[in-house]
Structure 1
Amino acid sequence: MNKESISEAIVLEVAATDLHFNQILALQQENLYSAISAAQQQQQGFVFAEHNLALLKKMAGHLPQVIATFNNRVIGYNLAMHVSLRNELSSLIPMFNEFERCRYRGELLGSYNYMVGGQVCVHRDFRGQGLLNRLYQETKSKVGELYQLCVTEISTRNINSLKVHQRMGFEVIGTYRDEKELWNVVAWNLGE
């Protein structure tokens, strides 16, 4: 199959079954910073947060967890997290704390109705085809006008991810360091 026919065969949908969620977790494990070499991280990007089945289901109860499937296999995902879940994953608490200090276009982030880009990942065989953008756009279409912004963090070492997010329209609105990394806080205006 050529890239065009592969792209046409990719289905974007909302994760709804344990199979979907388990395939998300498997793809996440393949791309965890702790599972790949520094060279792979620099070349391909990486993810940090480790979710579990219960948390994914809880997140799905608040916001759509958009997936890309090819031949019924999850090959990409865009996790969305409601701010009410801020304490559900201890590794993300510093991020949420930083969000309280960040400003977007002169206003504190908290003055906006925002959702958190929980994590986005595309299988290595499907990168470079605009799938990350398609996943975000599908999430945007599913949440409608409920949110003004999508906010997330990207490791400053994850240069490829930052570039792709910036091409989509994400803006760096802050930088902070936790015990593991130096992070860029980025925001995407869902109304533009």
Structure 2
Amino acid sequence: MEFTTTKTNKDLEQILELQKQNLAAGLTGEQITSQGFVTVSHSFQDLLKMNDIEAHVIAKDNDRVIAYILAMTARSRFDIPILIPMFELFEQVNYQNKKVADWRYMVVGQVCVAAGYRGKGILDECYTAYRNNFKDRYDFAITEIATRNQRSINAHKRIGFETIHEYVAPDGEEWSIVVWKW
């Protein structure tokens, strides 16, 4: 098992394959409840543009991407329209008496671990690599998680993320904004 950052187009393509397998739209209710899901479907260009700013963290098994944590900075705020409202919230939500937008933060654009690799500590190792890679340039990692994705909520709590804000989106989905101060 190797924990590294994306370096090739093949790495990005494999992230997209893993993402497609885990999009909520293609999963059953039982799979969503027991295994979690990802919400946003990125294009290759989205991932490449983000990766040109900061490389994504991946876990590989025999040169196959089996887990990823996307790296997104405030510079990407207008690149993925579905995420613009999240960045707008960062201008309103406080963290430690300061607006989130006033910090140097790294957005966890999305996390995913392949089905056969879950429950083996791979997400924890990916987050260790993520922190080690970004802690000298950013104050913390931040993301939002759909509250119905309890597997992800629990995993992020275990890692050390804390909820700083909750809200309901116009479509009725409930979200938690979580921060990992490293």
Does the 8 A contact of 1:66 with 1:138 survive in 2? yes
Unaligned runs of 5+ in 1: 1-9
Which residue matches 1:110? 101
- TM-superposed CA distance for 1:56, in Å, is 0.8
Counterparts of 1:179 and 1:31 in 2: how far apart (Å)?
A: 23
Task: Give secondary structure in 2 for the equivalent of 1:98.
Answer: helix
Which residue matches 2:134? 143
Q: RMSD between aligned alpha carbons?
A: 1.0
Q: Percent identity among equivalent residues?
A: 38
Counterparts of 2:176 and 2:26 in 1: how far apart (Å)?
A: 22
Task: Give secondary structure in 2 for the equivalent of 1:61.
Answer: helix
Does the 8 A contact of 2:36 with 2:149 survive in 1? yes
Counterparts of 1:182 and 1:100 in 2: how far apart (Å)?
A: 19
Aligned length: 181
- TM-superposed CA distance for 1:183, in Å, is 0.4
Match of 2:36 among 29, 37, 45: 45
- TM-superposed CA distance for 1:142, in Å, is 1.3
Q: Could you state the TM-score of these two structures normalised by the residue count of structure 1? A: 0.91
- TM-superposed CA distance for 1:106, in Å, is 2.5
Does the 8 A contact of 2:7 with 2:55 survive in 1? no
Match of 1:159 among 146, 150, 165: 150
Counterparts of 1:94 and 1:178 in 2: how far apart (Å)?
A: 9
Match of 2:121 among 126, 130, 141: 130
Q: Could you state the TM-score of these two structures normalised by the residue count of structure 2? A: 0.96
Which residue matches 1:120? 111
Does the 8 A contact of 1:13 with 1:67 survive in 2? yes
Match of 2:26 among 29, 35, 49: 35
Q: Kindly report structure 1 stretches of 4+ aligned residues shifted beyond 6 Å.
A: none
Task: Give secondary structure in 2 for the equivalent of 1:145.
Answer: coil
